[in-house]
Amino acid sequence: MPKTPRLASNGGIAKSNPYVGAAARKPAKSSGSNNNIFKMNTDIGQHILKNPGVAQAIVDKADLKQSDIVLEIGPGTGNLTARILEKAKKVIAVEQDPRMAAEVTKRFQGTPQGKRLELILGDAIKMEKFPYFDVCISNTPYQISSPLTFRLLATSPPPRSCILMFQREFAMRLFAKPGDKLFSRLSVNAQMWAKVDHVMKVGKNNFNPPPQVESNVVRITPKNPRPRVSYDEWDGLLRICFVRKNRVLRQAFLGTTSVMDMLEGNYRTFCAQNEIILDDSPLDPAAVEASMDVDMAPVEEEAEEPSAMDLDDEDDVPSFFKEPAPRVKTPARKARGRVSALVRTKVNKVLTTDTQLENKRARLCDEGDFLRMLVAFNEEGIHFA
């Protein structure tokens, strides 16, 4: 694979450096006024943090040690970078925009701090692997909030902590608790793999140019060791539960044909993998009707208010966080019969007998509830991946 291009970190710009011309052509400006050198590309989330007090507070909250290697995603013109270099052993900055990379290079060229700065040109999300780091600090481009969060959580060995700036509503969803309006699949996923704490609010006037939304800083501390739970199984369960988070779980499973069809297919795969012979003979019409009527009394559902951040179910988690499962040929599906009825019985047993969560809504369930469901389903041979 082609190597990621890097800027020299020896206190000067190497002759082969692609930014030599760009940096040399820029008019001399003080490091504090770099923000107005060129027009920011807000389409890729370029909003430079200009308030030095906020920048210092973010770095202070990271509790850096002199031996720390810090990964910074999107250094911009280096306002955070300069303060991190005052406390850390080394900064590895990943910048996608060559113009920004040139400004950061020029800002620290020939300085003692420049010798401890490594600049990588590229898209952080598309990097095959992050270099080793102890702490991540980022004024995060809002467009990559979800994939960056889970990319950091998937990093091995896990970092000590991550101090990340996010759009306010996204940040609030990360640390939302059961019952909160913003509690979602993202909340459960993030809190399963890490401890998430709110650090501070940051107004939009602290940026140049100002974004359209307010921001929050959060601290994400990955759990070490990571929970011994299959991510595919865990997220598959959550996707079903949070399709409509105000729907009771009985309706989310037994009342949704597509969900039951998916679980039946997965159960057939499980049986094929474990050489379990299924009786797939058809049921008589009366038995089919009875199997479809398993405790399906209508339940009044609470109205859900739409939110700009509700569309997280498709893209919250990047594929690299998941472990690929071996592909097993599933037997051709026959007409709905005894297997379908068996799966419905198993699902009903898990919800009503094993966990007693059939009338609970996903937005009110905590991590323990979802774990109990996952274990109970798996013990019945029902899988979500």
Binding site, by residue number, is 47, 49, 74, 95, 123, 139
Parallel, antiparallel, or unpaired for β 194-202 and 215-222? Answer: antiparallel
Q: What are phi and psi of 216, to 5 degrees?
A: -135, 150
Compute CA distances 171 → 142, 190, 201, 290, 292, whole Å.
10, 11, 10, 46, 41
Compute CA distances 43 → 39, 101, 124, 209, 346, whole Å.
12, 17, 16, 12, 48
Please state, as a whole number, how many other Cβ atoms lie within 10 Å of the Cβ of residue 202: 22
Give one DSSP letter per residue of 100-156, joined into a string: HHHHHHHHHTTSTGGGGEEEEES-GGG-S-PPP-SEEEEE--GGGHHHHHHHHHT-S
| Burial state string for 123-156 with b = 16 or more CB within 10 A and e = fewer than 16 | ebbeeeebeebbbbbbbbbbebbbbbbbbbbbbe
In the Cβ-directed half-sphere of 302, how many Cα atoms lie within 13 Å? 14
Consecutive H or E run containing 218? strand 215-222
Single-letter code of the amino acid located at 95: E
Torsion, CA 375, CA 376, CA 380, CA 383, rounded to 10? -50
Give one DSSP letter per residue of 8-43, joined into a string: --SSS--TT-TTHHHHHHSPP--GGGGGGSS---GG
Question: Residues annotated in the binding site for S-adenosyl-L-methionine, as ranges?
Answer: 47, 49, 74, 95, 123, 139
